[in-house]
């Protein structure tokens, strides 16, 4: 069977077609189609319970799908293919280690059962994840973040072409997150494919070249991050209650039918219009001609609003090292823009 290529004809590092996974009555994956290009960091983004871990577990052969097919590195991937996992490094859920062995001894134990590992590779990996100094300590004395870093070192041990990481920032402190981000970017620059699941937008925004957004077991959007964001460009205006109809008519005359929607903000009337942010002055002019004077005007593209619109869910916006951290469960809000309460944009 011919392997699946992307639009440019390049091979895909991962492709899934029609993946379905049910747990009793729960449909965890509902026909998932992923196309992950080679040599990128791919951010697999979705709210809690969307199906990210289920996907990861299928990609690493931990569970079987009920339907659909998977190709890894250009070849169909089935249950009998476990040796091919030497080409695939993964960190899924909490990594398991022998607590009474040191970090280095744990990596040796893993290397002994996996693909042949060149001499010096273990120390090199310990260095990459910043654990060289503590490599001789027992893992039982490691913090959660140190165990997470050891997990990433273990995933890199076989020098895989494809790296699958489920929520890799879990348990890492801000310095650890920055170090991990640098490491993953370097791996992609060296031609490897890094597939990272996350429900933290700030992390994906800073890390990924390509993003796939999953909601309720289905892919709802996929593409290069900059393209997704430019498709999401909006201008938002705050107006008086009494001007709603006139303003909507003026904006739709400017930007086209169905270009304008009211944001879910009970405290003020905000309209969002899909329009080039660089031409925000045209929005202002169109409103003024209709006799509407905006109290505020904001322009820009935000991953948060795309996520909210596509998933109907509020993402965790920031990483712990981001001073603008928004508490989980708080609706994402572009800087200075209207706050859309959880539940989505009306």
Sign of CA dihedral 50, 53, 57, 59: positive
Nearer to ligand ATP, 54 or 90 (CB): 54
What is the rounded distance in angstroms from the CA atom of residue 169 to the CA atom of residue 198? 8
Name the minimum Å distance from CB 50 to ligand ATP: 4
Q: Is 48 in the site for ligand ATP (CB under 6 A)?
A: yes
What's the min distance (Å) between Cβ of 49 and ligand ATP? Answer: 4
Question: Is residue 165 classed as helix, strand or coil in its secondary structure?
Answer: strand
Interaction between residue 52 and ligand ATP (CB under 6 A): yes
Note whether 199 binds ligand ATP by CB under 6 A: yes
Tell the smallest beta-carbon distance from residue 166 to ligand ATP (Å): 7
Shortest spacing between CB 97 and ligand ATP, in angstroms? 21
Distances, alpha carbon 336 to alpha carbons 193, 238, 298, 300, 309, in Å: 36, 11, 7, 11, 19
Q: Across the chain, which distance is largest between two alpha carbons, in Å?
A: 75
E strand map for 177-268: 193-198, 210-215, 218-224, 234-239, 260-262
Nearer Cβ to ligand ATP, position 12 or 213? 213
**Smallest distance, ligand ATP to C-beta of residue 80, A:** 23
Q: How far is the CB of 48 from ligand ATP (least distance, A)?
A: 3
Binding of ligand ATP at residue 62 (CB under 6 A)?
Answer: no
Select the span of 35-43, 46-54, 183-191, 205-213 touching ligand ATP (CB under 6 A). 46-54
Secondary element (H or E) of residue 32: strand 26-37
Determine the Cα–Cα distance for residues 115 and 64; give it in Å rounded to an integer.
23
Interaction of residue 206 with ligand ATP, rule CB under 6 A: no
CB 209 within 8 A of CB 188: yes
49 binds ligand ATP (CB under 6 A): yes
Residue 51 binds to ligand ATP (criterion: CB under 6 A)? yes
**Total binding residues for ligand ATP by CB under 6 A?**
12
Contact status: 231 vs ligand ATP (CB under 6 A)? no
**Among 17, 33, 39, 53, which residue interacts with ligand ATP (rule: CB under 6 A)?**
53
Does residue 43 bind ligand ATP (CB under 6 A)?
Answer: no
Alpha carbon distance 235, 233 (integer Å): 7
* Cβ distance to ligand ATP smaller for residue 211 or 294: 211
Q: Which two tokens stand for residue 246?
A: 């006139």
Q: At what angle do helices 144-156 and 103-113 cross, to 10 degrees?
A: 30
3-state helix, strand, coil in the chain (%, to 5): 35, 25, 40
Q: Between residue 21 and residue 40, which ones bind ligand ATP under the rule CB under 6 A?
A: 23, 26, 28
Chain contacts with ligand ATP (rule: CB under 6 A): 23, 26, 28, 46, 48-54, 199
């Amino acid at each position: 069977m011919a392997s699946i290529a992307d639009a440019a004809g390049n091979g895909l590092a991962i492709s899934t077609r029609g993946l379905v996974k049910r747990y009793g009555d729960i449909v965890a994956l509902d026909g998932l189609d992923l196309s992950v290009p080679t040599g990128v960091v791919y951010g697999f983004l979705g709210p809690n319970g969307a199906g990210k871990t289920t996907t990861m577990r299928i990609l690493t052969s931990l569970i079987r799908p009920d339907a659909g097919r998977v190709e890894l590195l250009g070849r169909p991937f089935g249950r009998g293919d476990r040796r091919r996992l030497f080409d695939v490094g993964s960190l899924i859920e909490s990594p398991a280690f022998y607590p009474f062995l040191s970090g280095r001894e744990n990596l040796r134990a893993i290397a002994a059962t996996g693909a042949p590992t060149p001499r010096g590779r273990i120390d090199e990996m310990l260095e990459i994840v910043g654990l060289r100094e503590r490599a001789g300590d027992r893992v039982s004395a490691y913090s959660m973040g140190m165990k997470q870093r050891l997990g990433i070192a273990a995933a890199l041990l076989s020098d895989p072409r494809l790296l699958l990481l489920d929520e890799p920032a879990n348990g890492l402190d801000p310095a650890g997150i920055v170090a991990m981000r640098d490491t993953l970017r370097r791996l992609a620059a060296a031609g490897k494919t890094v597939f990272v699941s996350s429900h933290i937008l700030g992390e994906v925004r800073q890390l990924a070249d390509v993003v796939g957004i999953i909601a309720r077991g289905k892919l709802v959007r996929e593409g290069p991050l900059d393209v997704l964001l430019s498709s999401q460009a909006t201008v938002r205006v705050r107006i008086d209650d009494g001007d709603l109809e006139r303003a909507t008519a003026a904006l739709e005359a400017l930007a086209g039918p169905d270009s304008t929607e009211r944001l879910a903000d009970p405290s003020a009337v905000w309209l969002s219009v899909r329009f080039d942010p660089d031409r925000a002055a045209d929005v202002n002019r169109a409103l003024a001609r209709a006799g509407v004077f905006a109290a505020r005007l904001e322009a820009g593209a935000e991953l948060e609003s795309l996520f909210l619109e596509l998933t109907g869910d509020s993402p965790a916006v920031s990483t712990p090292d981001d001073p603008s951290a928004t508490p989980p469960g708080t609706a994402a809000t572009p800087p200075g823009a209207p706050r859309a309460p959880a539940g989505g944009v009306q």
